[in-house]
Structure 1
Amino acid sequence: MEDVLTENPPPSRFFQEDLNNFTPPSPPIPTPFLVFPTTAADLNLPLRPSLLIVAISSPALHLFHTAASKTLVGTLILPETSFAGNSVLPSPKDKSCNLYSLDGNNQTLLVSVQCPVAADRCHAVAKILISDQIVPDRVLILDSVQNRNFRGKLSRDEALVFKLETTSERKSKSVLKDLSLEYLPSASVVDGLGAALLAKCEIRNIKAVLCVAWPEFGAGVVELIKSRVLPALDLGLSFFKADGDDYVGLRQDKDPFDSDLYS
């Protein structure tokens, strides 16, 4: 007599992908969109900045949060992101994506990406930021590189910044060429919103540079961006305290992939 407890079960009549046919599909997520204040008529849309800065990494966000002169121009709304719990005044702990003018005449714009962007939404967000409403001459993206995506050994005691650039940027004489940074080593990987933005700029033939910093958190990276990247742009920006004790302990999370296995 066969043992029903140990006998292999009969094969299913359905393939695994067929089982999903009985589950109703999830409703599509609405497309991200830009919201401008009621004085949008004064913005002369589309905005045509000479430089668009997109701050994604934690050090870059913290640094530009302390910029003395910036004016809120608009907000990028991601329908999947809840804004509950955000403070009335801009805070680096808010989940938001705001558009600022750094010079008062919208020639230098800053996008402060303070909310997580899922991998499958990065291209949709990039399409909105580099769109018919925002047509930049140059783009500077400030992101970070993770240890598991870097070919080689990275030390948490040493702050580093590397760059990638579009073809039009490499052939031009843009001021972004003055960034005396090494290129990201071959076989290293950049993903997420920074990569999507650089790809969008490449497609639209826009001069763009993607700067990726290491480590992902820390006051040393703030100072490195402040001393190596921003002076080449000659923006004349002034900052409040940005590299003191208020940031030393901020989000000093240990990367779970930070081991010799991923070096």
Structure 2
Amino acid sequence: MFIAFTPSRAFLQEEEDAAAPSASGNLRPAVCVWNKRLIHQLFGQRPACDVLVVATCPTSCALLQSLPGKTLLGAVLAPAVSLAGNSLAAAAGDPAPGDRVCCVYALGQPSKQQQQQQGEQQAEGAAAAAAGGGGVLLVCCQYPVVRERAAAWARSVLGQVSYGHAVFLGAMPAEQFRGQGDASQEEMVFSLLTRAARQQQPSTHPAPAPLLPTGTVVGGLPAALLSHCQYPVVRERAAAWARSVLGQVSYGHAVFLGAMPAEQFRGQGDASQEEMVFSLLTRAARQQQPSTHPAPAPLLPTGTVVGGLPAALLSHCQVRGQSAELLVLVEMVAEGRPALLEALAAALAAALTGRGAAAAAGALAGGAGLAAARRALGLSGGQGGTDVYA
């Protein structure tokens, strides 16, 4: 968890007033320009890969540009980034280090020269075979993306590509580092992983670099890219997302399923030792709660704060007088992960039964559904597979 201390609002008021006229421009998305013929030939509808690698600093861009066997797929154009002054090589897909461009490559796909030599049919067959294995896509961003535009850039680019795992390469100034060591005397490389990456990390393949020390703050484009993967609906957009989705559906009662980190929990118990699932209900849900069916889980203890999309969904229903409840599980270390999944399933089944959806509750009671959920989380059986939290 990263904590930043903000000065008083009086100190920042002049800066905010000065930034107001340009604020809307920071939301303008980046534009991905693709070679449509090549995209269709290699992938079909849209670019797809097993691993997406995005370079955001000169060192990482130089590293990716040096890789042989790249096929240029397109480029990313960003607002307020001028192409003036770029070399002619930038348009050919092999830009100079100083060019302000962002190129997207497929690694290991047939080059145009190979396609011409092999003929159209052979080239398409080789491309289909290569695309079938997933492969790797490279994004080399050689222009700076200011912090205010980073989130919009990340949404635009990552939303254009289907990928199984993403690797972001970035840099940070030494004065922001809060760990042991001296960057002037040694090479220092660290890693940060999303929760999904930690869950899927094979035990035979540890993290490629030590975890970033606690207290170190990463900002700008690398942080925006990682945040996009960790939280597909960021806190600032959660309310708009809730309005858009819930406004399209007519419902009598809504059940939202969410999770919260253990450090935000303010009640009794230890999330590493027991399964902890709690509920929050809107006023309308409490009034309509059948006396024969109590709440499916204990009420969330006072002082515990739930944020993000789950809170936005529940708030949307609360202010409109709609019946809704939130089932939130407290996540920590993984010894109880399979049991936590079962506890959530039991609470959801109770909520559905209490609202007259017995058939759906019965589907949760079957062992096949839980077994499929365990497999999706990488858990073998009821005891295997654990999450590793740094």
TM-score scaled by length of structure 1: 0.53
Q: Which amino acid aligns with 1:28?
A: L
The equivalent position to 2:283 in structure 1, one of 160, 167, 171, is 167
CA–CA distance in 2 between the matches of 1:129 and 1:25?
Answer: 24
1:192 aligned residue: 308
Question: 1:165·1:209 contact (CA, 8 Å) conserved in 2?
Answer: yes
Q: Judge which range, 200-209 or 244-253, deviates more.
A: 244-253
CA–CA distance in 2 between the matches of 1:130 and 1:225?
Answer: 23
The equivalent position to 1:149 in structure 2, one of 264, 268, 288, is 264
The equivalent position to 1:182 in structure 2, one of 298, 301, 307, is 298
Shift of 1:162: 0.6
1:221 aligned residue: 340
Distance 1:144 1:19, change over 3 A: same
Shift of 1:175: 9.3
Shift of 1:179: 3.6
CA–CA distance in 2 between the matches of 1:215 and 1:126?
Answer: 23
Amino-acid identity (%) = 25
Q: Secondary structure at the match of 1:194?
A: helix
CA deviation profile, 1:69-106 (whole Å, cap 9, x unmatched): xxxxxxxxxx656152257xxxxx8xxxxxxxxxxxxx
CA–CA distance in 2 between the matches of 1:172 and 1:21?
Answer: 45
2:27 aligned residue: 28
Distance 1:253 1:85, change over 3 A: farther
Shift of 1:250: 6.3
Does 2:378 correspond to 1:246? Answer: yes
Shift of 1:26: 2.7
Q: Which has the higher helix share?
A: 2
1:126 aligned residue: 242
CA–CA distance in 1 between the matches of 2:292 and 2:162?
Answer: 37
Distance 1:240 1:198, change over 3 A: closer
Gaps of 5+ in 2: 1-12, 30-154, 165-195, 197-229, 353-357
1:139 aligned residue: 254
CA deviation profile, 1:5-37 (whole Å, cap 9, x unmatched): xxxxxxxxx95446647967534369xxxxxxx
Q: Secondary structure at the match of 1:182?
A: coil
CA–CA distance in 2 between the matches of 1:21 and 1:138?
Answer: 40
Q: Secondary structure at the match of 1:145?
A: strand
Q: Which amino acid aligns with 1:26?
A: G
- RCO comparison, higher one (Cα < 8 Å, 6+): 1
Distance 1:223 1:82, change over 3 A: same
Distance 1:115 1:139, change over 3 A: same
Q: Which amino acid aligns with 2:327?
A: C
Shift of 1:136: 1.3
CA deviation profile, 1:166-210 (whole Å, cap 9, x unmatched): 000000135995444211111111111101100101122111111
Q: Alignment RMSD, CA only? A: 3.6
CA–CA distance in 1 between the matches of 2:276 and 2:289?
Answer: 25
Question: 2:327·2:347 contact (CA, 8 Å) conserved in 1?
Answer: no
Larger radius of gyration: 2
1:67 aligned residue: none
Q: Secondary structure at the match of 2:162?
A: coil
CA–CA distance in 2 between the matches of 1:183 and 1:146?
Answer: 17
Does 2:84 correspond to 1:84? Answer: no
The equivalent position to 1:204 in structure 2, one of 320, 327, 352, is 320
CA deviation profile, 1:144-174 (whole Å, cap 9, x unmatched): 1222322146331211111110000000135
Question: 2:253·2:323 contact (CA, 8 Å) conserved in 1?
Answer: yes
TM-score scaled by length of structure 2: 0.37
Gaps of 5+ in 1: 1-13, 31-78, 88-92, 94-113, 255-263
1:230 aligned residue: 349
CA–CA distance in 1 between the matches of 2:20 and 2:245?
Answer: 36
Q: Secondary structure at the match of 2:232?
A: coil
Q: Secondary structure at the match of 2:161?
A: coil
Q: Secondary structure at the match of 1:143?
A: strand
